[in-house]
Each structure stands twice: as C-alpha cells, then as structure tokens.
Amino acid sequence: MLRVARRIRTSSPGEVTPSQRAILVTINYYGPVTISQIAELEGVKAPSASKIVAALEHQGFVTRTGDPSDRRLSLIAATNAGVAYVESVRAAGRTWLSDQLSSLTDDDVEQLNAALPALERLLGTAR
C-alpha cells in the first residue's frame, strides 16, 4: 500500500519537491496557517517549514499576510495557483491509479474488492 501511495504522489506534475508538495497540501487544507502550525502538522522543525514555504512563495503557490491578532506572525495561505496545483496533483494521482486498475484482470479486481472492507477498517474509514 505504501508503494501505491508513493507512486500516486510521484505521478504528480511539476517541479515541486515531495516536501513542498506535502506542505502545500497542508496549507491548502488547513490554511491560513502560521509557520509553527505548518511545522507541527508536518512534523518538521519551524526553520525547515519556513524554508519550504519560502520556496513555495517564490513559485507563486502561497502568500503571506500579517496575522491581525498578532502582528509578529504571518499567515500562510495557498494562492489560486497553489490551489490549482493541488487539484492537478490529485487529478494526476487519480489518473495514474485509474490507468493501473484498468490493466488488471477480472480476477485481480475481484480480489481487490474482497480486500476493501479490511483495508477500510485498517484505515479507519469503514462505514
């Protein structure tokens, strides 16, 4: 499963590194957020998060604005280009997975379908 997830992530377009992509997805999902919040969510140190955010800002994927409640802080938010990139990453992953699934035999598909309930329980998404 980890290999499949990795392949989906690496099929995404562009010159964004895996770390940049992960942080951009986090900003897109939780934003606007501070560098400290990004570091905590991603499990990295604040200087590392700050360096990655600076690269994303340089690429036009995020923007910084002052925090109205604390002028010492900046809030990081995804730009329209950043949101569009995240959507393209998701679409590329879905396309890759769809292409892979379409090459399976009927027996392979039946086996995957039989395994889905256990995988959903494992992931905590069973309904």
Give the single-character DSSP code of 14: S
Report the CATH fold assignment for 2-123: Arc Repressor Mutant, subunit A (1.10.10)
pLDDT of residue 75: 96
Cβ proximity of 18 and 99 under 8 Å: no
Looking at the predicted structure, is the pLDDT value of residue 112 above 70?
yes
pLDDT tens for each residue of 48-92: 999 999 999 999 999 999 888 888 889 999 999 999 999 988 887
Neighbours of 22 (CB within 10 A): 18
Q: pTM, whole model, 2 decimals?
A: 0.72
Residue with tokens 């995957």: 112
